[in-house]
């Protein structure tokens, strides 16, 4: 798989470390009476879709940037690559 890095261009996926579903960026807030189940669901449960999946790739053997890659899990086609900070911005707008 070739990942189109926003600044460094096409990079082999083996330069990256895979960190899973991009939903993990949105950790629930800690409150006084933090609900155990909310944290359980955040840490352990996954949507695991067959199809479009937004996921975290860390460019460990590169510029150490965190990327959100949108990829089709049924055929490995990469649909979009963006920096985490840009993704979070656009996520907040939605």
Partner 1 sequence: MNYSGLKIFWEGLTGNKGWNKVWKEPTPKKEYDIIIIGGGGHGLSTAYYLSNKFNVNNVAVLEKGWLGSGNIGRNTTIIRSNYLLPENQPFYEFSLKLWENLENDTNYNSMVSQRGVLNLFHSDGQRDAFVRRGNSMILSGADANLLNDVELKELCPYLDFENARFPIKGALLQKRGGTVRHDAVAWGYARGADAKGVDIIQNCEVDGFIIKNGKCIGVETNKGVIKAKKIASCVAGSSGKLMSKAGIRLPIESHVLQAFVSEGLKPILDNVITFGAGHFYVSQSDKGGLVFGGDIDGYNSYAQRGNLPVVEDVCEGGMAIMPMIGRARLLRMWGGIMDMSMDGSPFIDKTHIKGLYFNGGWCYGGFKATPASGYCYAHLLAKDEPHPVAEDYKLDRFLKGKIIDEKGQGAQPNLH
Residue numbers at the binding site for partner 1 (CB under 8 A): 1, 12-14, 18, 20-21, 36-37, 40-41, 43-50, 53, 55, 71, 73-76
Q: In this structure, what token pair is assigned to residue 81?
A: 């690559």
Q: In this structure, what token pair is assigned to residue 23?
A: 């939903």
Q: How far is the CB of 92 from partner 1 (least distance, A)?
A: 24
Nearer to partner 1, 14 or 33 (CB): 14
Nearer to partner 1, 55 or 82 (CB): 55
- Angstrom distance (rounded) from CA 73 to CA 50: 6
Exposure on the CB side of residue 30, measured as CA atoms within 13 A: 0
């Amino acid at each position: 798989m070739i990942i189109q890095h926003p600044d460094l261009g096409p990079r082999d996926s083996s330069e990256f470390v895979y960190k899973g579903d991009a939903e993990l960026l949105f950790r629930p807030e800690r409150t006084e009476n933090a609900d155990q189940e909310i944290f359980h669901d955040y840490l352990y449960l996954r949507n695991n879709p067959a199809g479009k999946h937004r996921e975290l790739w860390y460019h460990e053997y590169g510029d150490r940037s965190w990327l959100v890659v949108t990829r089709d899990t049924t055929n490995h086609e990469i649909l979009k690559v963006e920096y985490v900070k840009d993704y979070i911005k656009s996520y907040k707008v939605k």
